[in-house]
Amino acid sequence: MTADLKITSASGRTPVLTVPVKVVVPRYQVALDAGSGSTTTDSLGDAWSPDRKYSAGSYGYQGNSTAESTGRTIAGTDDQRLFRNAREGMYEYRFDNVPNGTYTVELGFAELSSTKPNKRVFDVLAEGTQVLPSLDISLEAGTYKALTRTYTVTVTDGVLNVRFVTHKGFGKPLLNTLRVTDRPDKS
């Protein structure tokens, strides 16, 4: 939707200022609090769904995995509840029946233990493209500190896949948050 916002003031020079505004409403959005069993709301008022195992026709994680959590403070975020839980060891999050088009994929990570650098290293692929090679959360951010990354992908088959690939000899992939949002303004 496109509209003009008119701002009126008592200013003698520009009593009316017109600002074009475009409101974009996504056809599809899912925000998952990985490793959590409950719904939460973030600091901006957005709702995050509890984590779930994938079932055909829906969305969720695939692979043998565990939920991890901590009571410690996570630095670098206003959203403690989101970053104190994580899913560890999954090989993919899959979203079925998504409209074809352009999406943003937002990923949140935080080491929830005293994992040393070079112990947990993995790749992240979105729609078959490697978007985050050799991620080492502890090396990049430290422990108990939030790390976020956002990518743009194109879906052409009605399924959005985010895959996690463990490097041989290293710890299992870890994810705290995952949000996928249709971006009709970017198509």
DSSP, residue by residue, 149-179: EEEEEEESSS-EEEEEEEPTTSPPPEESEEE
- Is the separation of the CB atoms in 86 and 172 below 8 Å? no
Q: Given a cut of 80, is residue 149 above it in pLDDT?
A: yes
What is the pTM (predicted TM-score) of this model?
0.88
Residue-wise pLDDT tens digits, 34-44: 999 999 999 99
Q: Which CATH class is domain 26-182?
A: mainly beta
Write down how long the chain is: 187
Residue-wise pLDDT tens digits, 70-86: 999 999 999 999 999 99
Domain residue spans of the chain: 26-182
Can you spell out the DSSP letters for 22-43? E----S-EEEEETT-SS-EE-T
What's the pLDDT score for residue 174? 97
